[in-house]
Amino acid sequence: MKTHELTAGAVLTALAIMIPIAFGGILGVVIPPFSATLTAHVPEMLAMLVSPSAAVMVGLGSAFGFLLKLGPVVAARALTHAVWGAAGAMLIRRGMSFNKAVFVVLPVHAILEGLIVIPFGIGTYMAGVVVIGTVLHHTVDALISMALVYALMPVIKKGASKDIY
């Protein structure tokens, strides 16, 4: 991992840990068994622009933040962020636009979160609720991420070797 990837990944990891701890109650949405903290996916989505390694690091940090705030089930769901984030980063590295990559990984994200809750005693019907909730949550956070990337484009383009948007 290059120094700039480690630095950007560390900043985004700090945000991924801080968001559930500081904003879990304020930005939290709970429709049992589903819970969501709005903006929680934003650091992961931005990490996709940095590198696959940074995306994994941010996913691990997100899981740690949710473990501290909401416990092991939500932390296990957040751990899946490392998987879809790394996949999205690889797609971007292969030339896919950020906007497209964020939505290509959406089904992977939703299905993984639905599957991860089943061993915790949540039935398949309730796992379906988690899948649907994840689709909605991912979409909202993707739109927020796209707005941030668009707003930061002049800064990003100065350091980027190719168009990402």
Q: Residue 25 falls within a domain, yes or no?
A: yes
Domains contained in the chain, number: 1
One digit per residue, the tens of pLDDT, for the chain of length 165 reads 899 899 999 999 999 999 999 987 788 888 877 889 999 999 999 999 999 999 999 999 999 999 999 899 999 999 999 999 999 999 999 999 999 999 999 999 999 999 999 998 888 888 999 999 999 999 999 999 999 999 988 776 665 555 554
Q: Residue 13 falls within a domain, yes or no?
A: yes
Whichever domain contains 144, its CATH number is 1.10.1760.20
- Beta partners for 28? 37
DSSP 34: E
94: buried, middle or exposed (CB in 10 Å: 19+, 13-18, 0-12)?
exposed
- State the sign of the Cα–Cα–Cα–Cα dihedral 78, 103, 146, 47: positive
Q: Rounded CA gap, 10 and 13, in Å?
A: 5
pTM, two decimals, is 0.90
Domain that holds residue 17: 3-156
Q: Rounded CA gap, 108 and 103, in Å?
A: 10
